[in-house]
């Protein structure tokens, strides 16, 4: 069964996104809360509200804020490609997942050596969030999945109509924003 991550779109988690997340969590492996524009305090309050609305903490991955993952005992933290905190985080909290975004074979191999439990690799296809930047494509995805032993989750322009192609290229699953939240944010 492929791993499916729903990734929030960076709009501050309005009520409708919180509501969708509450309905969505039983059907995905994780909801990656990617709201980099919010302060740590504001994001912590949003996570608390999501948990109060019934989303199990173990279904939530927080993007870039390790203290929130520890505070609420979330599934884990997702780090950006050049965020050097992941190795120390994983050493300190080995029971929480640590994921990392990567955009090259070199950074993927380094992330695995640093203790990442999984990788997001992309963007694979053309996507509105990366306007004018061509996707990295399925060939590079295949090279990357052949080069690491941890799960690689493809991201970028992936919907339910093209997910099979990334799985055939070796991805363990897909992280999707617009497939879940496009018209809701």
Question: 3-181 architecture in CATH?
Answer: Alpha-Beta Barrel (3.20)
Q: What is the mean pLDDT of the chain?
A: 95
Quote the CA–CA distance of 120 and 2 in Å, as a whole number.
14
Under a CB-based contact definition with an 8 Å cutoff, are residues 40 and 72 in contact? no
Quote the CA–CA distance of 77 and 6 in Å, as a whole number.
14
Residue range 16-38: average pLDDT? 96
Note the pLDDT of residue 132.
86
> In percent, how much of the chain has pLDDT > 90?
88
Write out pLDDT tens, residues 135-161. 999 999 999 999 999 999 999 999 999
Give every CB contact of residue 41 below 8 A, 6+ residues apart in sequence.
none
Q: Which two tokens stand for residue 174?
A: 């897909």
Catalytic positions are 123
Under a CB-based contact definition with an 8 Å cutoff, are residues 60 and 45 in contact? no
Of the candidates 139, 84, 78, the residue with the CA atom closest to the CA atom of residue 110: 84
Residue range 107-118: average pLDDT? 98
Note the pLDDT of residue 183.
61
Note the pLDDT of residue 185.
42
Q: Does the structure show a pLDDT above 70 at 58? A: yes
Residue range 66-84: average pLDDT? 98
At 133, the pLDDT band (50, 70, 90 cuts) reads confident
Note the pLDDT of residue 70.
99
User: 133: buried, middle or exposed (CB in 10 Å: 19+, 13-18, 0-12)?
Assistant: exposed
For Cα atoms 175, 161, 153, give the angle at the middle one, nearest 5 degrees.
Answer: 20
Under a CB-based contact definition with an 8 Å cutoff, are residues 123 and 155 in contact? yes
Q: What is the pTM of this model?
A: 0.95
């Amino acid at each position: 069964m492929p791993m499916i991550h729903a990734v929030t779109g960076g709009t501050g988690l309005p009520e409708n996104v919180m509501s969708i997340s509450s309905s969505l969590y039983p059907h995905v492996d994780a909801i990656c809360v990617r709201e980099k524009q919010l302060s740590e305090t504001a994001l912590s309050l949003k996570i608390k509200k999501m948990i109060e609305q019934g989303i199990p903490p173990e279904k939530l991955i927080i993007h870039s804020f390790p203290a929130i993952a520890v505070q609420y005992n979330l599934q884990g933290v997702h780090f950006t490609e050049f965020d050097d905190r992941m190795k120390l985080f994983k050493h300190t909290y080995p029971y929480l997942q640590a994921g990392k975004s990567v955009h090259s074979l070199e950074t993927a191999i380094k992330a695995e050596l640093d203790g990442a439990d999984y990788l997001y690799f992309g963007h694979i296809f053309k996507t509105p969030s990366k306007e004018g930047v061509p996707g990295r494509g399925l060939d590079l995805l295949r090279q990357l999945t052949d080069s690491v032993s941890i799960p690689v989750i493809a991201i970028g322009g992936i919907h339910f109509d093209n997910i099979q192609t990334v799985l055939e290229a070796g991805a363990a699953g897909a992280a999707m924003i617009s497939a879940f939240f496009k018209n809701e944010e």
